[in-house]
């Protein structure tokens, strides 16, 4: 065996399951569905397609491969460029990348349909795990050789992590939690940042409250179920297909609404006749009115996605009558807050320590197959079709008072969470 060769580890197939790297780096398939990337060990002289990989594998000896988009379009616009590493600038951290998380947002970025627009040729890649090789001027609290996570949020053009190396703002670096291997660690922040921020930081979800999670079979939805269970809340899931009913119960949902069987209003009346306290909605569109109708007084609807192609109404009269709030939530609500990443890390680390956070990897690609990996990442079924994304199992200890416990004891509630909790207690 020679030095490691980049391998993209992706989750993206049909049913929840697990896939690991097979012998000599060959792909071993499981059943799951989102797309993740890792850098795993490979035999430099063996494995399928070795004649096609010669240049990339030779280049890897100096660690200079950088994936860049050279035009707007499909996976074919991606190229592996050979760019020697440069020292990190002030406030930056130099990294040797060990694992890369590949998300649908990566595909949207190269298609120029994402919030951030590419300045071609552009690097890409939101999240990764690796080891620090150098520190830029002014960086403290980190050290060379340290294993760290790249938290999404840095500008992709100069700081994209789909490469052998990257320089990333120190503000986007966190020590990697113990207990996860590289591909699992790389699958952590994009999947869990949004539901953590929405349910805990914004929504102030507490024990005994009911939370509606739409499109619950997605990666973020499954993470949200686990987060709800961690704080003692009661998750209610919605899915499109009957085949997903039992998997959602197995994942921890208290009740499941299958769109093929009943409409949302009927399902909510059946499972939560007294209403729900919080809604975590990935769909938007007209169903927001049905959700608002099912909310308890002073409840909150948090929309984090737009799977519906239809406009999303604001149910004004219902909101006035019930004093409910409706707001959007993006993963940067956590990553752009100076204090929130540390709270999120404590939350996740406590779950990892119990062995309940286990990101599942579906598929593995070598870096020179980045186009094939992106083709898989970019597949987006229509909203009326099943969306089956893999999820990671997550938990944290809960004290008798129902508050989360981190490694050093109870995790302090976020300011917004405390305020939301007070409002809910006062209505009772």
What value, to the nearest 5°, has the Cα angle with vertex 123 and ends 66 and 359? Answer: 80
pLDDT value at residue 398: 23
Structure confidence at residue 23 (pLDDT): 29
What one-character DSSP code corresponds to residue 237? E
Residues of the chain with CATH 3.40.50.720: 190-333+396-427
Q: At the topology level of CATH, where does 190-333+396-427 sit?
A: Rossmann fold (3.40.50)
Angle (CA) 75-192-234 rounded to 5° is 130
User: According to CATH, where is 3.90.180.10 located in the chain?
Assistant: 5-188+357-377
Low pLDDT (below 50) residues in the chain: 1-61, 380-418, 421, 424-425, 428
Q: Which of 208, 271, 197 is closest to 238 using CA atoms? A: 271
Task: Write down the residue that tokens 């069987």 correspond to.
Answer: 261
Looking at residue 110, its pLDDT comes to 94
pLDDT at 6: 39
**320, burial (CB in 10 Å: exposed 0-12, middle 13-18, buried 19+):** exposed
Per-residue pLDDT tens digits for 186-221: 888 888 888 999 999 999 999 999 999 999 998 889
How confident is the model at residue 360, as a pLDDT?
A: 63
Choices 3.90.180.10, 3.40.50.720, 3.40.50.1970, 3.40.50.300: CATH for 5-188+357-377 = 3.90.180.10
Which pLDDT value is given to residue 115?
82
Predicted TM-score of the model (pTM):
0.72
Q: How far apart are CA 348 and CA 239, in angstroms?
A: 26
pLDDT in tens, 375-408: 987 664 333 323 333 222 222 222 222 222 222 3
Angstrom distances, CA of residue 142 to CA of 93, 134, 185: 9, 10, 18
Per-residue model confidence (pLDDT) at position 361: 66
pLDDT of residue 332: 79
**Alpha-carbon gap, residue 166 to 380, rounded angstroms:** 29
- pLDDT at site 207: 96
């Amino acid at each position: 065996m020679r030095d490691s060769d980049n391998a993209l580890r992706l989750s993206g197939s049909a049913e929840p399951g697990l896939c690991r790297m097979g012998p000599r780096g060959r792909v071993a398939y499981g059943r799951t569905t989102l797309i993740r990337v890792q850098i795993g060990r490979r035999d430099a002289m063996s494995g399928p397609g070795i004649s096609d990989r010669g240049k990339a594998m030779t280049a890897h000896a100096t660690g200079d491969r950088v994936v860049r988009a050279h035009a707007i379009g499909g996976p074919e616009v991606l190229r592996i460029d050979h760019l020697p590493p440069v020292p990190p600038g002030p406030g930056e951290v130099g990294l040797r990348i060990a694992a890369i998380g590949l998300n649908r947002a990566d595909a949207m970025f190269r298609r120029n349909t994402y919030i951030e627009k590419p300045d071609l040729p552009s690097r890409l890649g939101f999240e990764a795990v690796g080891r620090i090789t150098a520190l830029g001027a002014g960086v403290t609290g980190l050290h060379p050789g340290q294993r760290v996570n790249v938290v999404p949020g840095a500008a992709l053009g100069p700081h994209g992590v789909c490469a052998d190396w990257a320089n990333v703002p120190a503000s986007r670096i966190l020590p990697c939690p113990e207990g996860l291997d590289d591909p699992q660690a790389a699958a952590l922040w994009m999947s869990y940042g949004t539901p953590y921020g929405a349910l805990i930081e914004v929504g102030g979800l507490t024990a005994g409250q009911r939370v509606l999670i739409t499109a619950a079979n997605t990666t973020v939805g499954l993470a949200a179920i686990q987060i709800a269970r961690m704080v003692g809340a009661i998750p209610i899931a919605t899915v499109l297909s009957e085949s997903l009913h039992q998997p959602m119960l197995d994942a921890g949902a208290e009740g499941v609404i299958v769109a093929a069987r009943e409409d949302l209003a009927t399902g909510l009346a059946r499972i939560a006749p007294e209403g729900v306290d919080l809604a975590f909605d990935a769909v938007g569109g007209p169903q927001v009115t049905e959700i608002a109708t099912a909310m308890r007084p002073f409840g909150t609807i948090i929309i984090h996605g737009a799977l519906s192609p239809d406009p999303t109404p604001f149910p004004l009269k219902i909101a006035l009558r019930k004093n409910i709030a409706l707001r959007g939530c993006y993963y940067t609500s956590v990553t752009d807050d100076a204090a929130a990443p540390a709270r999120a890390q404590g939350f996740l680390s406590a779950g990892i320590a119990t062995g309940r956070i286990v990101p599942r990897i579906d598929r593995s690609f070598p870096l020179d197959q980045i186009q094939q990996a992106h083709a898989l990442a970019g597949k987006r079924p229509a909203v009326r079709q099943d969306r089956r994304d893999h999820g990671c199992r997550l938990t944290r200890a809960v004290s008798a008072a129902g508050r989360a416990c981190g490694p050093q004891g109870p995790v302090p509630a976020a300011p917004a969470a405390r305020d939301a909790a007070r409002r809910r207690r006062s209505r009772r």
